[in-house]
Structure 1
Amino acid sequence: MKITGNLDADKQQEIANLLLSLVEGALARWYKGDPYGYLELYDQDNYSYFDPSKTARLDGFNNIKAFYDTIKGVIYSTDYSIVDPSVQIFDNTAVFCCNIIAHVGSDINKWNSTEVFRLTSENNWKILHSHWAFMRPMDIVFDPEKEIV
């Protein structure tokens, strides 16, 4: 894992490991059809989300929850991995980036994922913003009859 920032190396490593474990836990639930693991990480007061299946950014916790309600129980994978994680840590903010490769049914989904975290006054790391995009979308042939999510 690549780690950069303005804190001492040991503290950066500790935070990076924690953020990786939070993302791994949420992703494990996601690929069992449970998107709510991510909801538990989101800052309920300040949250925004870019998803490739949406034409605009989703703002606010309630909007993302409503979207997740529509995909609960839909996405499953037993074969997925977090690839090349990177964490940039500056005081009470961290940016976690990675690629995710997942076998979903007969498809292989390849994602770029960015999560912007902030450290709350309760000393919890919460996600302020998520951005998910297909890796090299120009290489993907989208079936107009098939939903992305």
Structure 2
Amino acid sequence: MKLRLIVPLLLLISACEKIVEDPVFSEVPAIVLLEVSQDTIVQFTEQLIVTIQYEDGDGDLGTSDPDINSIFVQDSRLEEADEYYLPPLAPEDATISITGSFDLKLSPTFLLGNGTQEISELSIYLIDRAGNKSNTLKAGPIIIKKE
């Protein structure tokens, strides 16, 4: 009697077991803006920190070579983007889906003109080791004050 009850119960439990698979992401990195530390900064003295969430299907974000920059930040007031180093976010010889977040600490900025404040917007994107460019996220407006 007990055996008749146990066998169907075990079959029911095993049928309900859920197989969890690793998430599948695109090999082109995707980024999302999570937070900007502040929307008003004083030139030269205050540092802006941008928190970015990322996902990448083959895990090739960042590099161990500090001379290669993977993060690009375009200030709307300037023509050229600033470049930042990103260490590997997964072992460089692994091909795995990765997701997570990191804080990007931007260099202190300054006013370009003679006024007491300027407004900037930032466009941020990543390029992985295969050369795939992520989507571009926008941060701002950010007010830069003289003092």
TM range (shorter): under 0.3
TM-score norm. by structure 1 comes to 0.27
Q: TM-score, with normalisation over the residues of structure 2?
A: 0.28
Q: Please say which structure displays the higher CA radius of gyration.
A: 2
